[in-house]
Amino acid sequence: MNILLRFKQKNHAEAYAHDLQLQVTKRLAMVIIWALLHVAEKFFSLGYYKAVSMTPYDISKMTTIFVLVAGLVILRCNLRRTRKFFTAVNLFLDLCLIWAQFVLYPLVGKGSLDIFTKLGIFAYSWLICISVISTYLAIANWWIKLSIPIIQIVYILVPTIQQEHKLLSPVLIYLACQSGVLYFSYIYIYELFQRKDFLEKRKVYENYEAIMRIFDDIIQGVIIVDPHYNIIYKNRTSGAMFNLAQNTRSLDSLFSHIQVKSITPQLEVMSTERIQTSSHDDSVIYNILQNDQNKLFNRNRQQF
């Protein structure tokens, strides 16, 4: 990987983004929860205040949220057709998500905080921040997830410094820089190690695929089972030898398809006798071959 977290090999980049349906489903679930919470907020306002305040700005945000839901549903249902345009579609959906969560205060909604006390404004702002940070998790492109909060900080910081006392401006600038660097570092480190973890798993997977190809090319049947006798792997030869179906998962189902007609070379039928000794250790079982018993019997008969 380079400093922009791009993979050096193209196949690694393709493999990292191959599970498109899982990504779309995850984002769809997040956005649906977000849309339902926005609708619940309006119902709460209607029930508590007996009125719903909807400015053009609020209407545009609600419309954007439902466009997001509809876009993700369409994308999930048509992954094969939209696979070539998945990057562009993802970028468009990320931009919609950014607009839906971007806070335009104080340009928009400046008078909405006049009803709160100073403590109420602090609590309200803190809760809004938690909601906004939660929506960042639904952004697909990591560089957008990284840059948008920095833009939001600058957008809010500039008019705030112009209105606040000069003695407080350095404090606000310091806090803004601290929070920006902290967020940037955490997101970058998280994405970096997530990709490193993927590369390690990819290396193991490639080694596994190489071994499986070797097993598939040999003429001996190879079946690998776990301690519970469930089949983990079977090569092509074993499948052809036993006519195994794809759903054969255990040795029991394998043995149910096998009928022994003959054994080559012929083996002598050997009866065994079990002798068990008692001791503090586990029982030890000795198998005495019938041939050895016959020799011992003949020797004793000659002595008498």
Q: Are residues 51 and 102 in the same domain?
A: yes
DSSP class per residue in 198-251 = HHHHHHHHHHHHHHHHHHHHSSS--EEE-TT-BEEEE-HHHHHHHT--TT--BH
Of 123, 140, 157, which residue is a domain's last? Answer: 140
pLDDT at 257: 63
pLDDT at 259: 67
pLDDT at 189: 92
> 202 with 188: CB under 8 angstroms?
no
Of 140, 163, 191, which residue is a domain's last? Answer: 140
pLDDT at 20: 65
Q: How far apart are CA 172 and CA 165, in angstroms?
A: 11
- Indicate the pairing of strand 231-234 with strand 223-225: antiparallel
pLDDT at 168: 79
Q: Give the chain's residues under pLDDT 70.
A: 18-21, 244-249, 253-304
Joined tokens for residue 102: 């971007």
Q: Are residues 130 and 17 in the same domain?
A: yes
pLDDT at 143: 86
pLDDT at 267: 53
Task: Look up the domain containing 278 and give its range.
Answer: 272-303
pLDDT at 193: 92
Q: Are residues 134 and 166 in the same domain?
A: no
DSSP class per residue in 110-127 = GGGGTTS-HHHHHHHHHH
Joined tokens for residue 204: 């193991």
Amino acid at 82: T
